Structure 1
Amino acid sequence: MKGKIADGEARDRLIVWIRRRMEEFGITPEALAESLQHDKDHPPLYRDARGNEWNGLGDVPAWLRAAQNVGVNPAFFRIETRAHEPALVESSTVSEQIGDQRQLDLFA
C-alpha cells in the first residue's frame, strides 16, 4: 500500500484542504449552505457537452452565446422545462432545434 492514501485518510486530508480554502477566501459555512440552497432552488436549464451549465438567470454565458453565433439553437442544450418560466427560445421539434446534424459534434 506504499504511495497510496487510505480512503479515511484521503477524506480527512480533503476536509482539511477545503477548510483552509474556505478560510483563505472568507467563505463561511452559512454562505456555503446558502449557495447550495440557491443551486437547489435554481437548477440548470441548459448544459453543453463539456458540462457547462446555465440556470437562465443573468447574462447568457459565453459558451451558449458562442453556440448561438454559429447557428446552434439554444433549445438544443435545454435539459429541463419549468412550467412557470418561459423558454429561452420557442419550442419546436427536436429535428428543427438541432438543424444540421453536423453541429452535434461542435461542442464535444
Structure 2
Amino acid sequence: MDERKRDSMIAYLRHRMEEFGIKPDDLAAALASESLPQKNGRYRNATGDSWDGNGEMPQWLKQAISAGQSIEHFELSEKPAPAPAPQPKKQVDWSNDPFAGSRLARPDSR
C-alpha cells in the first residue's frame, strides 16, 4: 500500500472512530484483549507461511519442492529436534608420511 492510500485510510478510520465515539484507548484495549489465532499447519516455511496438508498445495511449497527441497524440510514436529552432537575431529596418522623431514613438509619452503 502506498503512503497516500495509507494516509487516506487512517483519516477515514479516525473519522469513523469519532462518529461512533471510539477512543484510541478503547481500540488498543480491544486489540490487546484479542488473542491472535495461531496458524495451525503441518508445514511451515521461514517466512511463516503454513499449510495444513489439506487441499491444493500452496505455491511456495510447490516451488520449494520443484527446486529440490524435500517436503519433510517444512514439516512441523511436536517438539524441536535436538541439535546433533558435535563430532570429534578425525586424528591423522602422520607416521607414514612420505614427505616427513623433506622440504615439502615445511610450510615455509618455496
Scaled by the length of structure 2, what TM-score is found?
Answer: 0.38
- When normalised by structure 1's length, the TM-score is 0.38
Q: Greater share of helix residues, 1 or 2?
A: 1
More relative contact order in 1 or in 2 (CA 8 Å, sep 6+)? 1
